[in-house]
Amino acid sequence: MPAPRRPRLALAGLVTAVAVEWAGATAILPVLPLLLRHRGVTVGWIGVAMAAFLGASFLAQYPLGRMADRIGRYRLLELSLLGYAAATLGFLWGGPVILAIACRAVQGVAAGGADVAAQALVVDLVPARRHGRAYGMLSGAQMGGMVVGPITGSLLAGLAPPLVFVAGAGAAVAAAVVLRATVRLPTTARRPGPPPPWAPNWRLLRGVLAVAAGGGLMLGVYEADWTLLMHSRGASGWQIGLSFALYALPMALLSWPAGWLADTFDRRWLSGSALAAAAACAAVYPFLPSASLLIIFSAVEAILSAAGYPATLALLIRSTGVGAAGRGQGLYASAQTGAAAVGAALGGVLFALGVPIPFVASAAVALGAVVALPWLWRGAGATARPLTAAPDAVAASPPAPPRTEPVGHGRPCTCRPGGTGPPSGGARRQKAATPAR
């Protein structure tokens, strides 16, 4: 796959595009339910429209991951951003509630494709030994957008609610323009052949998927019950918004150190400990007596679990290999989104039975996943650690011609001089939770 001419500029462009897209996407979240309610849509149908995002994203992420490996991650990311912009503008047309549900479903497909493609595109831009830092930067971009977006959306809604949707669509288009100007990968629009066979390192992948499911389950509970929990402690609207902002802000500020940790220490330990810290916080939340303590503790959770995102994503790439990065990201995202849908569906029912039940139950499941990780990852060994002398995923200059003399494995060797050849069957290279947008 051809590499970008300026890898640092390309990575900076990807990070900027993700930040812009997330700011625009999260800007519509506080406004969309109110807009639908103003148009006479019942609360039940509003719930269906919001759930359509998660359902469509869950169904689409794995197929879109496979598509990313086939047509190119850059191409899928660009198409997803433009699709998200079109679906966002669709809310301005009014019409029956089924149109709103369809627009939200298309948003879910496009957002899922954008996340999968952006995370897989990292492997085309940076060397394997720096995957943790790159994913840390990507996490910081997402959380930074999440801090800015809802505030901007609320301000625009005060002027005219339709402006929020115009701004959300414009942000997606602007992100695509940034990609076109910086990443410069038009030649990767289509791979020269089919993607490599699906042969993941299941010793790593099964643990990564357990982390995805455990974190996703807690995410779904928060989607359904966090606002209800804050209200039960007497929180006002601005305090609820502040709790989201003070969770996202430390994640954004700590993104680079978190990525450095993922490139320096054993990523399995970082991923598991971050999930354990998040589960412990989830179990404590319903027993805190005030909204102020909930807000403070959410920032503490962000600090304790910040390293989990880049470490887990880098482990995912190791488990699937660079050539199947899109498919791996799609599988991870599907596991996380599916678990989030289950958590959201059960969260409201369990909350009605008792405020602590959904939080403690989801925390127990996540801790169970943490306890199972040593068994799931048994035998993974050093393959879970960052590479210290890996060949770059980005070539600084045109590649040298391949050697063609036969070697011991009995086939013509395509290794580059001074480098390494294609990974054999046992050698693999090596993806917390994100809100519905």
Q: In whole angstroms, what is the distance from residue 20 CA to residue 257 CA?
A: 22
Q: How far lies 229's CA from each of 26, 151, 155, 249, 348, in Å?
A: 21, 21, 25, 21, 11
Phi (first) and psi of residue 332, to 5 degrees: -60, -50
Region of residue 95 (phi > 0: left; psi between -120 and 50: alpha; otherwise: beta): left
pLDDT tens per residue across span 355-390: 999 999 999 999 999 999 999 998 765 445 554 433
Q: What is the pLDDT of residues 341-354, one digit of tens each?
A: 888 888 888 998 99
- Give yes or no for residue 230 having a pLDDT over 80: yes
Q: What is the pLDDT of residues 136-147, one digit of tens each?
A: 999 899 999 988
CA distance 338 to 188: 30
* pTM for this prediction: 0.76
pLDDT of 276 strictly over 90: yes
Is the predicted pLDDT of residue 178 greater than 60, yes or no? yes
CB 220 within 8 A of CB 53: no
Residues 6+ positions from 94 with CB-CB distance below 8 Å = 39
Q: What is the mean pLDDT of the chain?
A: 82
pLDDT for 77 equals: 95
Q: Which amino acid is at 66?
A: R
* DSSP line for 149-208: HHHHHHHHHHH-HHHHHHHHHHHHHHHHHHHHHHT--GGGSS-SSPPPP----HHHHHHH
Residue 432 is given by DSSP the state -
DSSP string, 267-319: HHHHHHHHHHHHHHHHHHGGG--SHHHHHHHHHHHHHHHTTHHHHHHHHHHHH
pLDDT for 7 equals: 72
pLDDT greater than 90 at residue 63: yes
Torsion angle, alpha carbons of 129, 132, 137, 142, to 10? 140
CB atoms < 10 A from the CB of 394, how many? 19
Report which of residues 265 and 39 the model is more confident about.
265
Residue 431, CB-side half-sphere exposure with 13 Å CA sphere: 32
Work out the number of other CB atoms within 10 angstroms of the CB of residue 147: 20
Nearest in space to 141 (alpha carbons), one of 29, 27, 255: 255
Under the banding of pLDDT at 50, 70 and 90, the label for residue 229 is very high
- If pLDDT is split at 50, 70 and 90, which confidence band does 35 have? confident
Which domains does the chain possess?
A: 7-185+200-383 (1.20.1250.20)
- Three-state SS sequence of 6-69: CHHHHHHHHHHHHHHHHHHHHHCCCCHHHHHHHCCCCHHHHHHHHHHHHHHHHHHHHHHHHHHH
Nearest to 241 by CA among 251, 231, 232: 231
pLDDT of 248? 87
Contacts of 247 (CB under 8 A, 6+ apart): 298, 299, 301, 302
User: By the 8 A CB rule, do 214 and 365 touch?
Assistant: yes
Task: Check pLDDT > 70 for residue 399.
Answer: no
150-171 pLDDT, tens per residue? 888 888 888 888 899 999 999 9
Confidence band of 421 (pLDDT split at 50, 70, 90) = very low
Question: What's the whole-number mean pLDDT along residues 310-319?
Answer: 93
Lowest model confidence (mean pLDDT) among 33-47, 188-202, 413-427: 413-427
Q: Rounded to an integer, what distance in angstroms lies between the CA atom of residue 69 and that of residue 394?
A: 17
Residue 74 has pLDDT above 70, yes or no: yes
pLDDT of res. 381? 55
| pLDDT (0 to 100) of residue 41 | 80
pLDDT given for residue 245 in this prediction: 83
Report the alpha-carbon distance of residue 288 to residue 279 in Å, rounded.
Answer: 15
Phi-psi region of 287 (alpha: psi -120 to 50; beta: other; left: phi over 0): alpha
The sign of the dihedral angle between the CA atoms of 166, 104, 43, 99 is positive
Torsion angles phi and psi, residue 406, rounded to 5: -70, 150
pLDDT(174) > 90 = yes
Residue 420 clears pLDDT 70, i.e. is over it = no
Hey, what's the torsion of the CAs at 156, 157, 160, 164, to 10 degrees? 70
What lies within 8 Å, CB to CB, of 98 at 6+ separation is none
Return the bridge partners of 406, or none.
412
